[in-house]
Amino acid sequence: MTLPGHPDPDQVKGRIITLEFEGCYLIATYVVNAGQGLKTLDAKNVWNHHFEVYIRDLDKKKPVIWMGDLNVAPTAI
């Protein structure tokens, strides 16, 4: 699936799987990485904005469980 409203659908294709169950949505993501030296931070920020809109819209209908590779490690592991 692509991310609704994202200006570059090819960039986000395959990064989101959304399953709808009777009582909730289950979303698995592979979030855009900001890269070494934050070289792709702008792309990550665009992703974050559109994903937030998407997940909040779903949450208005029923609870959302979000999992996956969120690419949030602030330092080297």
pLDDT of 1: 66
| pLDDT at site 34 | 84
Where do we find the tokens 């959304």?
18
| Residue 47: other Cβ atoms inside 10 A | 23
Q: State residue 30's pLDDT score.
A: 92
The pLDDT tens digits for 62-77 are 999 999 998 887 776 6
Q: Which of 30, 54, 57, 59 is catalytic?
A: 30
Average pLDDT, rounded, for the chain: 88
The two beta strands, 16-20 and 25-30, are antiparallel
Identify the pLDDT of residue 66. 97
| 52, two tokens | 């937030």
Catalytic annotation present for 69:
yes
Q: What is the pTM of this model?
A: 0.83
The predicted pLDDT at position 58 comes to: 97
DSSP 39-76: TTHHHHHHHHHHHHHHHHHHHTTS-EEEEEE----SS-
30 as an active site residue: the answer is yes
